[in-house]
Structure 1
Amino acid sequence: MNRDKFAQELKTLREQHGLSQEELATLLANSHRAFEGVNQVTLSKWERNESTTSLLRRLGIANYFGQEYEFDAKEMEVITPSMRLSEIPVNQDISYHYAIDNVASYSMESIPKSLWDDILAIHNKLYGLDFLRFYQADHLNIDDIIILAYYCKGMIVGHIVYDDKTDMLLSVGSISLSIRKQVLEYLANEMMKKSLVIPVQDPAMTQFLYDLYLTPKRALFGLFLFKVDSVSLINNPFYQQQPEKNGQIFKYLRYYSQKVKKKSIEFIL
């Protein structure tokens, strides 16, 4: 998808998915705040090329349908400042493809010290915050902590640390963005957790969850705590595409554009 072919490709993708203009408009508006106010009339004008929507919405629609977006020179100038915000460890990836083939569960008593030290090191490298300090400040019981280690061919490629009593997600680590997606899908689909409390540090990710119509309940140590329906979150098309390259661009472009207008999460909450 690109700017010149947007109108035709939008119509083609909508029809391929068996959606009417009204149905697609409703799905978009209910999935992400960037599409608030979009209706059948709006979509009809876009498809007939009678009006041009923003780069953010074009990119968002490409992400919704899982399509690559080809940026022209002017669009690259627009996205470049926002992408500088994404240069944090948690968003870095590597070229190898891994698939999780085994999951091991541990308590604080049963986990091997070497594995626990590795998880703490990875967490601190990704987030720069000791989650045990965060955990103890919230007066929670360390005996309720569950650690899941994810393996590929005997090598650890990801982890989750959570509180089984309060369903607070304390740490997510992964060797790649694709593994992170697999880890979170496991969390939602295999653990059958209806809701999770998720602490979020990255302002762009906080904005992203807010744009998916989630509202943080409170803040602690600079982290925003969201209580989310894990299945609904995983099934949101924008969340599904978030780990992909264009998904990252969409997330950071949205945050940057809102921040410039002083409408980002820092100014709302």
Structure 2
Amino acid sequence: MTHSTSPTLSRRTLLKGATLSIGAAALLRETLKPLRVRAQGGDLPAGTVHTFSKGGVTFHTYVSPSQAVNVTSHIVEFDDQLLLVDATFIPPTAMEVAGTIAATGKPVGMAVLSHEHPDHWSAADVFEGVRFSTLPAIREAVIAEAAAGDGQAPANVVEGADIAIGMTEMSGVPVEFRHYENTEAPHIIATVFPEQQVAIVQDLVYNGVFFAPGVDRANWIATLESLRDDPACETLLVGHGLPTTRGDLDTAIAYIKVMDEAMNTAASPDDAAASIKAAFPGYGGDFLLSLIPEYWTR
């Protein structure tokens, strides 16, 4: 496998990095041990891996550098196998995830694609021999999005299995796959570990990074409100930014309310973006604000 340099991303040329929320800072102090992984050539900085163990399970969160909007991939390490969630955006970051997988010395027993947005799947073909399970609707959207960009969806997404929503086990550990509709994306799969009180919620929550505008912001808020008292959401592994704690559900709800107000009242997409930046001045990922015109309906 050759090392790739970071491609020219045009509108995918991504900007500022994430900052620490209060919940993420507390979690880092208490449990996480960040490790900077090796950059895979070119000018792209290395991502980081944040690892903690809880209830006999080890969780590794890879956070891409700011140029790739701090998009994440999660490796859940059981006694004898791994669960991989999402593939990241570009080959250099996916290769860093693959290196973290190799360092465990364990096979990937299952891989999951959480939703259709390309920053989570477009580098999936780096993971040779690994097929991503997902919902048929997510797979169909990936195929359509790839075709719209004159490309092909990764074969290991197209050929992956249909995921079964509900409770299952991996290596004797209960794992729940949940399906949330019409939030940040039309469909999102959350991977929940009730005994460990850890939930991989992906783009239901961003941490220190500007959010994409979403499909139905009122429903998105209601979904997050429903998780506030969920005991499985003590620790949140998110789609952009560092792992955090349940308190960032309130932060995310507040953000979406501000974003919804800006989208409904601002005179233009640029004005909406300016309002959001003013309300959350420490956030990174300005590229994601450039998506607002695609969601503008007035």
Larger gyration radius, structure 1 or structure 2: 1
TM-score by length of 2: 0.27
TM-score with structure 1 length normalisation? 0.29
